[in-house]
């Protein structure tokens, strides 16, 4: 566009006052005649005028923006959820702003504060961490929706995710059946994540019910947030006690790291060790035919998030929305 068109130019073209244009633009022109409304709308179309979001937000107490604060956008899972949310929110007439908190409490708080200053309609926290800013936001006027991880602090009920414990139990049964007598193990990331903690808990409890209780040496992790590195180092720790027959990896990225360490040790997947991941990256059929995984319906997250936000707008209490998952079992060999 060559320049910004002012509301005064629209008013002059339509032959009305600036106040009349403002009321029509903001949907409160109860006293304007249909002919006046039609002239103003025609003038808006002819001039290409667009009302400023800041002014509308000030008048309405909120903007058309919904903020999504994601913990790690380099993770394909979070990128997929963010993409699904953007599409669904756009269909409801709002725009999405996306921020990466890098799983840091200080960045999360900075963004929460900034989004409040921008009068966003809601904040969607994709894998939130506990922080003082979050504690404050929970009692504030802006609705919060927690996705993938449950709220790490008490007082929130709006959640979109899956039943991670049930998924962990399902993986335990699948691995136990494929290796009835072999050693089983798990490699996971930080348990501060409710999603990870619930997956691991469900897996361990189900194995215990099956008489296959895990020893301490069968549970491995590593510091940091890089799931590929957690997988590689976790696998090295497991191999110090010999190779397990089956390994549950709490994410597909962890499984990729585990597989790298096993391959470097001359151990075949799935010939010697069967791996079960979590998320089922869409690329698995192409690059990881050796990896079974829990398929999470990330494309469906957007519609669920939009529905929860609509309930928040209408003041309707929200129960956690748990989406279905599937086990995808693959038995392909190594890719070179």
pLDDT, mean of residues 48-73: 71
**Tell me: the pLDDT tens digits for 244-299?**
999 999 999 999 999 999 999 999 999 999 999 999 988 899 999 999 999 999 88
Q: What is the mean pLDDT of the chain?
A: 90
Please give the model's pTM, rounded to 2 decimal places.
0.79
Strands 184-187 and 246-249, by their bridges, are: parallel
Nearest to 113 by CA among 128, 98, 132: 132
Is residue 192 a contact partner of residue 250, using CB atoms and an 8 Å limit? no
**Tell me: the pLDDT tens digits for 219-253?**
999 998 899 999 999 999 999 999 999 999 999 99
Residue 200 pLDDT exceeds 90: yes
d(CA 126, CA 128): 6
pLDDT, residue 17, reads: 86
118 in helix, strand or coil? coil
Q: In terms of C-beta distances under 8 Å and separation of at least 24 residues, what long-range contacts does 171-175 make, across chains too?
A: 171/203, 171/248, 171/276, 171/278, 171/294, 171/327, 172/202, 172/203, 172/204, 172/206, 172/207, 172/210, 172/212, 172/248, 173/206, 173/210, 174/276, 174/292, 174/327, 174/329, 175/246, 175/248, 175/274, 175/276
Nearest to 265 by CA among 237, 229, 226: 237
Residue 20 is encoded by which pair of tokens? 């009349």
pLDDT, mean of residues 154-169: 94
Distances (CA, A) of 241 to 219, 248, 255, 271, 279: 11, 17, 19, 19, 28
Is residue 46 a contact partner of residue 80, using CB atoms and an 8 Å limit? no
Nearest to 199 by CA among 236, 162, 246, 254: 162
| Candidate from 7-21, 49-63, 185-199, 271-285 with smallest mean pLDDT | 49-63
More confident residue, 30 or 164: 164
d(CA 313, CA 14): 34
């Amino acid at each position: 566009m060559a320049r910004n068109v002012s509301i005064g130019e629209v008013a002059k073209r339509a032959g009305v006052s600036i106040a009349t244009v403002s009321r029509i633009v903001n949907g409160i022109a109860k006293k304007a005649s249909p002919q006046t409304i039609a002239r103003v709308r025609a003038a808006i179309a002819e001039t290409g005028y667009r009302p400023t979001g800041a002014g509308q937000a000030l008048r309405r107490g909120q903007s058309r923006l919904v903020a999504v604060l994601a913990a790690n956008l380099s993770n394909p899972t979070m990128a997929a959820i963010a993409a699904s949310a953007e599409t669904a929110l756009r269909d409801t007439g709002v725009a999405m702003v996306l921020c990466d908190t890098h799983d840091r409490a200080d960045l999360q708080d900075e963004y929460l504060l900034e989004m409040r200053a921008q009068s966003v309609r809601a904040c969607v926290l994709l894998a939130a961490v506990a922080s003082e800013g979050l504690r404050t936001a929970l009692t504030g006027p802006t609705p919060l929706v927690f996705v993938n991880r449950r709220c790490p602090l008490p007082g929130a009920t709006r959640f979109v995710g899956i039943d991670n414990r049930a998924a962990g139990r399902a993986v335990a049964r699948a691995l136990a059946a494929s290796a009835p007598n072999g050693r089983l193990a798990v490699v996971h990331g930080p348990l501060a994540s409710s999603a990870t903690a619930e997956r691991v808990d469900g897996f361990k409890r189900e194995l215990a019910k099956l008489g296959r209780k895990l020893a301490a040496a069968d549970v491995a992790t590593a510091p940091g947030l890089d799931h590929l590195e957690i997988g590689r180092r976790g696998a090295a720790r497991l191999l110090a006690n010999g190779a397990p027959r089956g390994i549950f990896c709490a994410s597909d990225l962890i499984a990729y790291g585990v597989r790298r360490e096993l391959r470097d040790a001359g151990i075949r997947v799935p010939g010697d060790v069967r791996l079960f991941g979590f998320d089922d990256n869409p690329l698995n059929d192409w690059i990881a035919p050796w990896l079974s995984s829990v398929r999470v319906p990330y494309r469906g997250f957007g519609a669920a998030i939009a529905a929860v936000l609509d309930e928040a707008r209408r003041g309707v209490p929200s129960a956690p929305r748990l989406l279905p998952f599937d086990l995808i079992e693959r038995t392909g060999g190594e890719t070179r």
